[in-house]
Amino acid sequence: MEDPAAFGRRLHHARVDRGLSQTALAAGICSPSSVSRWEDGQSVPDVDIMEQLADRLGMNPTVLTGEGFDSRLTGSAEDFADLLDTVFAPQDGIGRRDTTRPAPSATSAWIDHARSALDRADPWSSAPDPRPTVDDLSVDPLTPSTPASLETVELLDAMVRVRETPDRATVDALTDTLTWVTDAPLIFRRTAVETVVAVLLCADMPVAARAAVDRVSPPDITTTTALLLTWGGSSPGGLPPTATSRRGRDVAFGVLAHLRDAPAEVRRSTATAVVASCPDDGLVARWAGSL
């Protein structure tokens, strides 16, 4: 069983997502005050109560307990979370994973879809719409099998909503999601935090961008996120550590950051080259244009 706080976050999200009040969820099962206590992370219900709550919420009880086992996966929820981190985390410094240890065949299609959706969820990407892929994942039988897979799809859905409508409401919803999807792979969470920060900064809301990072309190952030937050000197210290793995966007922003004090002619020519090296990245183009 997970700790009460983690259980409480899942229960609260599932209830709100289904439009149920605490009273409606509790009816015939327990008292509303019990639901409130569990959502606050004070305790967890007995197994039989847990199963009844999950049934009313229309979800697998193991998603609430974090103790799922599915022979089609890797043996346990923890193993599947580790598998996702292994597959999605860069292994050789340039984004390739170790192909000598392939993912189990039963999960390979799911993982390929999730990776594809992550690659296309960026609001500044010119890649095809990821919504159909995320919708397919939401009804995939593997998705509700473990907290890791369910939270990954929940996070992808929130990210795609920002891509579809990049405004304060969708960014706030993505930030809310980030506060509880702790079993989703770290690379997904890093990318989502970057999206939140970039959208808010593009809307000239640096204070809100820093507040979102403080609220989520991620274990680390991308190089791009760190550079964006410190670009104007508004968030000089106290940021989470910067991830050691770097993508093309991170390298591009590193170059752009060094150009700020360069002569105008150098800035223009180098910024043009940086944009050309990331032809499908609208965020790099936008920042280069501001130099």
**Would the pLDDT of 5 be above 90?**
no
How many Å is the maximal CA-CA distance in the chain?
72
Residues ≥6 apart with Cβ < 8 Å to 234: 206, 207, 210
User: Is residue 71 pLDDT above 60, yes or no?
Assistant: no
Q: How far apart are CA 52 and CA 55, in angstroms?
A: 5
> Hey, what are 169's tokens?
């409401």
- Whether 76 shows a pLDDT value over 70: the answer reads no
110 versus 227: the higher-pLDDT residue is 227
pLDDT for the residue 29: 94
Task: Please count the residues of the chain.
Answer: 291
Query: How many CA atoms, within 13 angstroms, populate the side-chain half-sphere of residue 230?
Result: 18
115-147 confidence digits (pLDDT tens):
999 999 999 998 999 999 999 999 887 888 788
pTM above the 0.85 mark?
A: no
> At a CB cut-off of 8 Å and minimum separation 6, what does 35 contact?
11, 15, 22, 25, 26
